[in-house]
A and B are shown apart, each in its own frame.
Chain A
Amino acid sequence: MDLEAAKVIGAGLAAIGVGVASAGVGFVFGSFLQGALRNPGAADGQQGRLFIGFAAAELLGLIAFAVAMIILYAV
């Protein structure tokens, strides 16, 4: 296999990580909604924590994307 083909395959594999992170982000918001619908009064106070969880989950997907970009353009 030549390097060019291996690069593209590697970048495609790194893109799996982005998809998995999307599941993580969905889980964060889904869980928040589940809790918020049970106790709507307390929901507004927890929005900061919601976005912290979102940021942590999203970061890993963005790192996977950065890995794909590094493989494609920088290696």
Chain B
Amino acid sequence: MLTRRIIPCLDVIRGRVTKGVRFQNNVDLGDPVEIARRYYEDGCDELVVYDITASAERRATDLEMVARVARAVRIPFAVGGGISSVADMARALAAGAEKVSVNSLAVQRPEVIAEGARAFGSQCVVLGMDPVSTADRARCPSGYEITVRGFRERTGLDAVAWARRAVELGAGEIVVNSVDADGTRQGFELTITRAIAEAVPVPVVASGGAGCARHLRDAFIEGRADAAIVAGILHTGVTTIPALKAELAAMGIPVRT
């Protein structure tokens, strides 16, 4: 049976892993390579490394860091931040990433998804999205609107419609990072996660709000997610990957042990 994936997310600013709530009050948590290696040894299933200030600083992804992470782990990892073209994707993949994640820049220029999928295959192209709940059902029938630039800007795009369009263009996986839940540790936003998981044929990753194993279980069962991103509770030592997996296994969720 295919197991549910647990994916630690490393938000990197100037070469250091940081964690904030809604991109604010960032705290230095350490070296991305050491942290990636530790989670790998702990049995995480995959990693995501976001160079979170690359886009804002209008620079490419920190490829030297990507290459060091690639040498440190023998599992797949995705790289996001600063990916705006097929050439950027090619460099990140050549540095050893398995997937590239596009977010704001794909909203600006959706064709980058199609170009990436043609060049490297859909399995390499992840669409990251940051939906926020909205009352404007006329514009966003799902009740969720896509934001960009670290939640700062609303786009008027309906989250489910954007997910469908991205998959048509060739996205092979969608990370649904809820703006409302991010950093709260109160659980994933299950409504939008499930709406997207049911709307697209590709795997969906729940992101934002992980506080305990129960939240992951809910994302997998109620949210229909194929994988879940975990950050703060691992970084600050509230729990560990083996502990999360043991609890999930006890709740009947298939996990890789």
Query: Are A and B a genuine interacting pair, yes or no?
Result: no
Which residues of B are in contact with A by a Cβ distance under 8 Å?
A: none
Which residues of A are in contact with B by a Cβ distance under 8 Å?
A: none
